[in-house]
Amino acid sequence: MARRPGRPRASGDPDGERDTRRDVLDAAAALFCTVGFTSTSTRAIADAAGVRQASIYHHFPGKDAILLELLLGTVRPSLDLADALAAGAEPPAARLRALAHADVGLLTAGPVNLGVLYVLPEVAGEQFAEFHALRSRLRARYSELADAASDDDSSDRGELVLGLVESVILRRRDTPDLDVATVQDTVADGVLRLVGCTPTEVAFARTLPVRV
């Protein structure tokens, strides 16, 4: 069975209803990222998923709902991790690095680069407000950890850090054979340098285990 695309999610139920839902999401993700959202019909999604078109409407009211579910799946796991790390006892730099490292891994996981959906003009619509709210919360968590790891009073730190992490979306698009492990380390270390950590502090943060 094909794995759902995007950042890893909790394992699904083994029953047929959840299998159909997952197949629809798989097919829609591939089509949205290649053909485009506007050019993809629910019939095309049904054909690619190997289900009847009516089955799609049993799970989703329409294309917008499918896209929203895909977008939420790219943020929820990272936000859950960020919430757990925010309550951690390790040094802030170590927790910030752990979040960035894991987030890069999540953004580069799966067969489809779902991050490219962020820039779709349709995503600016009110029907995707839940996605934007979760992403704002993730940005705020990044900012909290970044502020705690830094001694200066720079503003927009969360936006800068999240921007560096999400830069892997374009790197993945342009480099299909991306060395994920190397990019994870590079970006995670870059995040710490961005918030003003010294080379010694970055090296120390890399050695600390972070529990979540």
Query: Burial level of 86, CB count in 10 A (0-12/13-18/19+)?
Result: middle
Predicted pLDDT of residue 17: 52
Q: What are the domain boundaries of the chain? A: 72-207
Over the stretch 118-176, which tens digit does the pLDDT of each residue have? 999 999 999 999 999 999 999 999 999 999 998 776 667 888 999 999 999 999 999 98
Over the stretch 28-71, which tens digit does the pLDDT of each residue have? 999 999 999 999 999 999 999 999 999 999 999 999 999 999 99
Predicted pLDDT of residue 188: 97
Over the stretch 85-129, which tens digit does the pLDDT of each residue have? 999 999 999 999 999 999 999 999 888 999 999 999 999 999 999
pTM for the predicted model, two decimal places: 0.85
